[in-house]
Amino acid sequence: MNQPTHPAYEDPCLYIDGEFVAAEGRRTQAIVNPATGQTIGHLPHATREDLDRALAAAERAFASWRHSSPMERSRVLRRVGELSRERAQAIGRGITLEMGKPLAEAVAEVVNCAEHCEWHAEECRRIYGRVVPPRLPNVRQMVLREPVGVCAAFTPWNFPYNQAIRKIAAAIGAGCPVIIKGPEDAPSAVLAIARMFRDAGLPKGVLNVVWGVPAEVSEHLIRSPIVRKISFTGSVAVGRHLASLAGAQMKRMTMELGGHSPVLVFADADIDRAADMLATFKFRNAGQVCVSPTRFFVQEPCWDRFMERFIAKTRQIKVGDGLAPDTTMGPLAHARRVEAMGQFVEDARSRGARIETGGERLTEAGCFFAPTVISHAHDASMAMTQEPFGPIAACAPFRDLDEVLKRANALAYGLSSYAFTTSTRTALAVQNGLEAGMVNINHFGQALAETPFGGIKDSGMGSEGGTETFDGYLVTKFVTQMD
Ligand code: NAD
């Protein structure tokens, strides 16, 4: 185990109508470093008045931001991209302190997101309408795309920077103000984003940041007639709840929810390469990734070879404080995730699976859980049916393509999926057969700025990124005119 450190931390605040607002008597909540268990700061909760001020500011801002030039929006987004690169080290450090991921991963999260800003800066200049050929010569028919209005965004703690910037860049690029409630346990990245937009010249009120009890804040914002669209990233259960609130108010929504991604390793694959790549990818961010590979189906002829190498690679992972330079996996973000991991392991064991490595909490202090490989996991076990959202790889053998597709598609999740094969025929069958919003074959190539990211089935609706990115933030207006 790497040793923890004790760095300085600046108390977070709210950001409403272009002003950073400190606690000043408001209710606060402690922010805890999961590597040490120590409180590092206090976060103010927004009062109802604060939320109403944010709503009013966003409504005022919409009146002018909706008519802003795409060139102006593009300039702001591009500048934020530049600032992300300049400020990545400091922002990354805040992320590591709050939710534990290794510093290199946190800094990479920020740097990579500069591309999201640049992509939205470019694409927002291409929000085109179209002209529809008329039936009469003196008629002109046009399809216009207009910003939907004030958006409320709710983002989680696992990628506190990435999840927030993707929603903010899409809303702002489309001409919509945003009120964002980021993760209360890891707030500094969202505030860093607010500072960058302010420094890039975004008019006040276009971006507002609030915190509080998640259910109270989201309900207040969603029920407000000012909010016209919501975007949420988080669990399926919370997504369903927010979708029902938004549905009752006839509001648009984008939902990026949980996954339980199958990995299909076929016997004709480059097995060593697959095992090495998967052991690294699986335990990134301690497995707290919605697209983390979680259900490993390994074809029988290559089971022994794959498992041996995958387990050996997993044992090499260096767990510790994310600020220590040689750490490759940090703590889990909260004590509740550690508890959940214990339940997954106990359930697997009770159903006859083997815990090949890990399977236990590592220290009393901090939220450390060992990278865990479960073999011969039963298809009905918790680890094979519920999203683990942690450092657990549940593995089971399979015989043939039809069988594995059926097992992979058996759950209501449909976010990401992975397959390793050298057969083009198998690759094609997998592309066509997997019920998932994203299919990765022989590599991990998703979540790029220029490609759509999103799930199907219970894993959500709508896409972030790609040319689809503004779809959720625009409404269609048909105009017909006769002279
Ligand atoms: P959780 O369900 O309590 O919270 C998940 C996220 O949703 C948090 O950021 C939380 O602040 C937010 N949230 C919860 N209730 C809300 C509400 N009523 N309104 C608005 N936001 C709300 O679970 P958790 O223990 O924090 O995280 C574990 C689970 O969350 C995992 O099982 C995983 O499915 C899910 N999760 C998914 C993602 C993702 O990228 N899709 C990210 C983080 C967490």
Instruction: Enter the tokens of residue 467.
Output: 């040319």
Q: Is residue 1 part of a domain?
A: no
Q: What is the pLDDT of residues 147-178, one digit of tens each?
A: 999 999 999 999 999 999 999 999 999 999 99
Whole-number Å distance, alpha carbon 321 to ligand 1 midpoint, is 23
Mean pLDDT for all residues in the chain: 97
Q: Give 418's DSSP letter.
A: E
Whole-number Å distance, alpha carbon 462 to ligand 1 midpoint, is 18
Is residue 143 located within the same domain as residue 284? no
Reference 2, options 363, 421, 271; nearest CA is: 363
**Domains identified in the chain, total number:** 2
264: left (phi over 0), alpha (psi -120 to 50) or beta: beta
Is residue 357 located within the same domain as residue 474? no
Neighbours of 389 (CB within 10 A): 24
Those residues of the chain that have pLDDT short of 50 are 2-5
Specify whether the CB–CB gap between 313 and 305 falls below 8 A.
no
Clarify whether 117 is annotated catalytic. no
Looking up tokens 């202090």 gives 365
Q: Residues 123, 184, 256, 387: which is the catalytic one? A: 256
Is residue 181 located within the same domain as residue 291? no
Name residues contacting ligand 1 (CB within 6 A).
154, 156-158, 183, 214-215, 218, 233-235, 238, 241-242, 256-258, 290, 336, 387, 389
Instruction: Enter the tokens of residue 440.
Output: 């990765």
Specify whether the CB–CB gap between 258 and 454 falls below 8 A.
no
In this prediction, residue 8 carries a pLDDT of 75
- The domain that contains 171 carries what CATH number? 3.40.605.10
Q: Residues 117, 151, 176, 290: which is the catalytic one? A: 290
Alpha helices in 66-187 (DSSP H): 70-99, 103-123, 160-174
In this prediction, residue 5 carries a pLDDT of 46
Neighbours of 18 (CB within 10 A): 17
The residue whose CA is least distant from atom 22 of ligand 1 is 214
Whole-number Å distance, alpha carbon 480 to ligand 1 midpoint, is 45
Whole-number Å distance, alpha carbon 130 to ligand 1 midpoint, is 39
Mutate which of 163, 235, 413 to test ligand 1's pocket (most atoms within 8 Å of Cβ)?
235
Which residues neighbour 289 within 8 Å (Cβ) at sequence distance 6 or greater?
Answer: 158, 159
Q: Give 48's DSSP letter.
A: H
Whole-number Å distance, alpha carbon 234 to ligand 1 midpoint, is 4
Is residue 392 located within the same domain as residue 336? yes
Q: Which residues pair with 319 in a beta bridge?
A: 329
Clarify whether 256 is annotated catalytic. yes
Q: For residues 12 and 31, give the distance between their C-alpha atoms in angstroms, rounded to a whole number.
A: 10
Q: Is residue 5 part of a domain?
A: no
Q: Is residue 415 part of a domain?
A: yes
Q: Is residue 6 part of a domain?
A: no
Is residue 183 located within the same domain as residue 272? no
Neighbours of 316 (CB within 10 A): 10
Instruction: Enter the tokens of residue 363.
Output: 């220290």
Mutate which of 238, 332, 438 to test ligand 1's pocket (most atoms within 8 Å of Cβ)?
238
Q: What is the pLDDT of residues 404-419, one digit of tens each?
A: 999 999 999 999 999 9
Which domain, by its residues, includes 122?
14-257+459-479
Helix (H) or strand (E) holding 402: helix 401-408
Q: For residues 413 and 53, give the distance between their C-alpha atoms in angstroms, rounded to a whole number.
A: 38
Is residue 270 located within the same domain as residue 140? no
Is residue 272 located within the same domain as residue 355? yes
- The domain that contains 396 carries what CATH number? 3.40.309.10
The residue whose CA is least distant from atom 37 of ligand 1 is 234
Which residues neighbour 214 within 8 Å (Cβ) at sequence distance 6 or greater?
Answer: 154, 181, 184, 238
Q: For residues 331 and 303, give the distance between their C-alpha atoms in angstroms, rounded to a whole number.
A: 30
Is residue 231 located within the same domain as residue 352? no
